[in-house]
Amino acid sequence: MHTLYSLALRFCCPLRQLRRSSPPPQPLIPPSLPASGTNTPWCVCGMEKEREDEETEGRERPEPLTDVERGIIQDTWARVYETCEDVGVTILIRFFVNFPSAKQYFSQFQDMEDPEEMEKNSQLRKHARRVMNAINTVVENLHDPEKVSSVLGLVGKAHALKYKVEPMYFKILSGVILEILAEDFGECFTPEVQTSWTKLMAALYWHITGAYTEVGWVKLSSSAV
């Protein structure tokens, strides 16, 4: 028995010594993010997921619309939507002329610089209708926050995962929309109306960027502004 105990100590002691001399375990290192300038969203897992949840919780929710403001938006939008395609084209042309880097996501007209050529382009007009119809869906469902959140969530995820569009362009586009509405519908775009629409645009951006966060989008560098 004494011999067996001695053998056990002989084998165990080096192992104990090895454990003492081994460096302490290193903390888990999150996966590397893609290099700046790439358009590939990164996969969220482990520590990144915890950080994502913290960032999502830390995002400041915009001030909700009142019943009066919802009515104001729906009333003014009814006038805008009568010529939705033309208004949408005007918005996109202003957007692409002032922020040409946004055209990188549209192969059909990314090389166009002439506003008149853009106005006649069937693909641009088609996208203008798509943008205006998305806004129309939101405006029609202002009484249903879950519907609005669902619609904008789909928009955000599609642009993050499929089209790889940087989310800051939605903020820029929101500003252009407000600008065009104020110019083209100035007679009814009073300060009260302006405030209501500004709050709506802030809500749209909040929901869309929330979808970007949900899929693990990493903010990329850009020279758009």
152-181 pLDDT, tens digit each: 999 999 999 999 999 999 999 999 999 999
- Dump pLDDT digits (tens) for 196-218: 999 999 999 999 999 999 999 97
pLDDT of residue 118: 96
pLDDT tens per residue across span 3-62: 444 444 443 444 333 333 333 333 332 333 233 333 333 233 333 333 344 344 457 899
DSSP of the chain: -HHHHHHHHHHHHHHHHHHHHSPPPPPPPPPPPPPTT---PPPP-THHHHHHHHHHHHSPPPPPPPHHHHHHHHHHHHHHGGGHHHHHHHHHHHHHHH-GGGGGG-TTTTT---HHHHHH-HHHHHHHHHHHHHHHHHHHTTT-HHHHHHHHHHHHHIIIIIS---THHHHHHHHHHHHHHHHHTTTT--HHHHHHHHHHHHHHHHHHHHHHHHTT---------
Tell me: pLDDT of 191 over 70: yes
Give this prediction's pTM: 0.72
pLDDT digits (tens, 9 = 90+) for 134-150: 999 999 999 999 999 99
pLDDT above 80 (res 91): yes
Q: In whole numbers, what is the pLDDT of the chain averaged over residues?
A: 79
Question: In percent, how much of the chain has pLDDT > 90?
Answer: 68
